[in-house]
Amino acid sequence: MASSPPSSSFLGIDSRVLALAVARMADALGNSFLIIVLPLYVSSGTVAGGAFGLSTSMIAGIVLALFGIASSLTQPLAGRLSDRFGERKRFVLGGLVVFSLVNLSFVWASQYWMLFGLRVLQGIAAAFTITASLALVNEVSQSSSRGRHMGTYNSFRLVGFGAGPLLASLLVEAGPFALGGGVEVTGFQATFGVAAGAALVSAVLVGVLVRDPDDIIPAPRRVAIRLWDPAGRGLDPILALGLATLVMAACFAMLSAIEPEVNARLNQTPVLFAVEFVALIAVLAVLQPFVGQASDSVGRKPFIVLGLVGLVPTTVLQGLVTVPWEMIAVRGAQGAAGAMVFAPALALAGDYTTRGQSGAQLSVLTVSFGLGIAAGQLTAGYFVQYGFGVPFAVGGVMAAGAVLLVVTQVREWDPAEA
pLDDT, tens digit (0-9, with 9 covering 90-100), for 355-367: 767 777 888 888 8
Give the integer Cα–Cα distance in Å for 325 and 335. 15
165: cis peptide before it, omega within 30°? Answer: no
The residue with greater pLDDT, 326 or 367, is 326
DSSP 140-203: T--TTTHHHHHHHHHHHHHHHHHHHHHHHHHHHHH--EEEETTEEE-HHHHHHHHHHHHHHHHH
Of 237, 213, 212, 216, give the one whose Cα is nearest residue 226: 237
Q: How confident is the model at residue 141 (pLDDT cuts 50, 70, 90)?
A: confident
pLDDT at site 157: 84
Segment 376-394 mean pLDDT: 89
Q: Examine the pLDDT at 130 and tell me if it is beyond 60.
A: yes
Question: Taking residues 30-52, what's their average pLDDT?
Answer: 73
Q: Hey, how many other C-beta atoms are within 10 angstroms of the C-beta on 265?
A: 16
Query: What integer is the mean pLDDT of 202-211?
Result: 87
Q: State yes or no: pLDDT of 12 exceeds 90.
A: no
**pLDDT tier for residue 278 given thresholds of 50, 70 and 90:** confident
Strand (E) or helix (H) holding 179: strand 177-180
Check residues 48 and 302 and name the one with the higher pLDDT. 302
pLDDT band at 413; cut points 50, 70, 90: confident
pLDDT > 70? residue 11: no
Look up the pTM and report it.
Answer: 0.79
Q: Give the number of residues written for the chain.
A: 418
Confidence label for 18 from pLDDT (cuts 50, 70 and 90): confident
Query: Would you give the distance in Å from CA 34 to the centre of its chain?
Result: 15
Q: Rank 174-183, 187-196, 209-218 by mean pLDDT and report only the highest.
A: 187-196
Alpha-carbon span 340 to 322, nearest angstrom: 27
Q: Which domains does the chain have, with CATH numbers?
A: 1-218 (1.20.1250.20), 224-418 (1.20.1250.20)
> What is the Cα–Cα distance from 201 to 197, expressed in whole angstroms?
6
| pLDDT level of residue 2 (50, 70, 90 thresholds) | very low
Percent of the chain with pLDDT over 70: 89
Amino acid at residue number 326: E
